[in-house]
Structure 1
Amino acid sequence: MFRRRPPLPSFPPGALLVGGAVRDWLRGVAPHDFDWAVPGPAAAAQGLAARRGGAAFPLDEERGYWRVRLPDATEHDFVPQPADVNDDLLRRDFTVNAMGLSAARDLLDPTGGRADLRAGRLRMVSEANLRADPLRAWRAGRFMVTLGLKPDAGTDAALRRVAADLAAGTLPMPAAERVRDELHALLAHPEAARGLMVLEDLGLLALTLPELREGQGVTQGGFHHLDVFGHGVEALHQLLARTPDAPLPLRWAALLHDVGKPRTLDRNPETGRRTFYGHDKVGAALTTQILTRLKLPGDEVKYAARLVGAHMAQLPADEPAARRFAHRRRELLPDLLRVMLADREAARGPSSSPLGRTAYMLAMNRVLEALEEQPAAPAPLLSGEDVMTLLAIAPGPRVGEVLRALAEARALGEVQTPEAARVWVRAWAAAHPAS
């Protein structure tokens, strides 16, 4: 686990580096977030910002907490140095985080964190500390994946008690934003799918994504070899295997693409065949509900939900259909194809075959080729005013309907000039009378 230790930034006068940065430094990993206990937080923060060209701002002026963001993307938090540093470390979550380092590289380790780190062991400082901030249970799940640590028996049992008490309401749930940040730190890891299963094993996923868990035991058959829950987790794994730098909204869309299936399940009593008609639309609504509850930014919620809602789109069989597909879904491409491919690759049931997967890839390539040929929508040939004058109609939805149809014809190469567009609009309007 331990590699050559990376360099550390200059220590502010009298400062002690504490927490995760010390842990990462001992592991030979360059820290990105630094927690400093210093005699004068405001002066230390402002001095660092002035020297390194960063921005310093107070997190809590009353308590003297400051933060600095530097151009190299590192963050430095400054808090007042406690009278008893060891006592402060003993209030932390896990032993691997309960360490301090001086400028002389003297290690303060009152709980044996370095030995636990060497042993790959996740050990709580105390169960009382976990219960004082139950978010630490989610952090434990993250550390088990991102740091490769295994909880000792006492910590494992305590984590499960915390989850059970949260579910029973005898412990308060952490703020949604804090849970979201832990989830995102886990989802950003290459083994995010395994991380979700760790949360499930600890009893934390039920507190976080209950809608996703509704798919447990919901079998599908056909192309699928996993239940709906397992398929969603496997789709996330397949996405990250192919797109390791996938942004978080895309990761959410892969995970949640079939979240609507349990609520749309219908079973034919004669054949026993299961169907999930409309699960894409229900899934888009549930995705919006889940991500809004977790306080994601509105544009990310909308984008992930749109990907979920579009993942059942029929792939094109020829080049004209590929151009139409690319035009109609341009704003979601190529991410939509990534979700669709992850969906297909996560399904290895009896109806799945190498030949079918090859045909699927060929259809996707048609769309990608169409997108390369026309990476942006062509400039419009007519304006809304042109259409209103041409058809003698008033402003309203009909104008938008005509313009969308004309834009598609333009993208497909069916019309190229304003003169041809006028002829096309008259013909289209005659063939598609307003309802």
Structure 2
Amino acid sequence: MSAAVTQAPAPVVQATRPTTLLAADRSSTSSVQSSETLFDTDAKLDHTSHKPWKHFGFHHHHHHDSRNSSKESVAVVEERSASTKRGATFWASFKYLNNLTPKQVDDFMASYVIYNLDWEDEPAMIKALGPNYKQKVGDSLRAYYGVMNHLCALGSVEKMYIPPLMDKHVSVLDNQLLYEESIARDLGLKPGDRVLDIGCGRGRVAAHMAKYSGAQITGINIDPNQLAQAREWNAQQGLSNTFVERDQNDLPLPFADASFDAFYQIQAFSLCKDLPAMFREIYRVLKPGARFSMLDWVSLPAYDPTNPEHDALMRRVKPLIGAVGTPTPAGLEKALTDAGFQVTRSDNASVGGLQAPLIDKVDVYFRAVRQMILGLVRLHVLPKHFKTLINRLCLDGQAFVKMDEMRLISTSYRIIAVKPKEEAASA
């Protein structure tokens, strides 16, 4: 696809102040309440002082100030997010997984070979996958996501990412919403803005972003299964977001110069073969003055690939988080600067720089689900491939927690940048 995607005008959305747009989604249960069912039995909110929120769908947000430890409760009645109904999503994904063919299961398991490789080591890529290794990686990713997005939807990581720890008092799903709202603020999104989202998944982030800000999102993803769900869900929400099937490694991007007012991505660049080329393309399709937001996985300065313990942990964690590349903050910043961007923020978005509390919540939940599934397989209630899938999903979650606590890696590293309004002559 080489032509730019044409979009319909953005829907009219009443603008609100982002700092107070924190009401729970009334289209189902509240986002915090629904995800507490899965993750937060050990970390309940303080319902003694916030009971009206619990019963009437209000959400409270803690404003932290080092000079003032008091808490301010904000209760508003506007819809906060475009969250799905958890029960319906769970059963839809459960039925899909139940009906997988043996080939789909085999292809999913075989896809993990790419996570033992690294874009930086091309000889190893060619040895394992052949000279057309980029195409083989794409094929593996389609097989991987064709199953993984449904496995993740069995819990509250339907969006397929563990968010930064924004507020330790609320659930994993609510931390996702809080982070996504911070993206909208960092980008300065307003109604009618055109925004590019690479690695859009099922389009749930795009839907939330559109409802929160009034912007119109164009999402790119390699997996037709997820894109079909994204189109259906966004249409049900009355949104005109657009979704394009595209391998992010197939450059140039299919858009004209200066097509977008902003760009964001969440944990997709670890699958990008050539980040400098990708950043140049994003720079090209953004308007002067447009802002850029990314959240991704990085290895941190404390990580030492010559340390046997570090290396062993990395080999366990990369397949778990689905990472081919191993970028560093410094490498990302340099690639952005070389492309012409001005980096305005580069930090770990998690409170205290640790994502581990949320990683552990997800790991504990899925390990509990694993025990239930294994029991049902033994009773012949579920097909045997459920055992294969859930064992693979639950492998090495605690290694992920350990690397985060050792501050060797993070999947919550944030960079904000801007395309200058007046481009340098060299750019």
TM-score, reference length from structure 1: 0.24
TM-score, reference length from structure 2: 0.24
Bigger proportion of residues as helix: 1
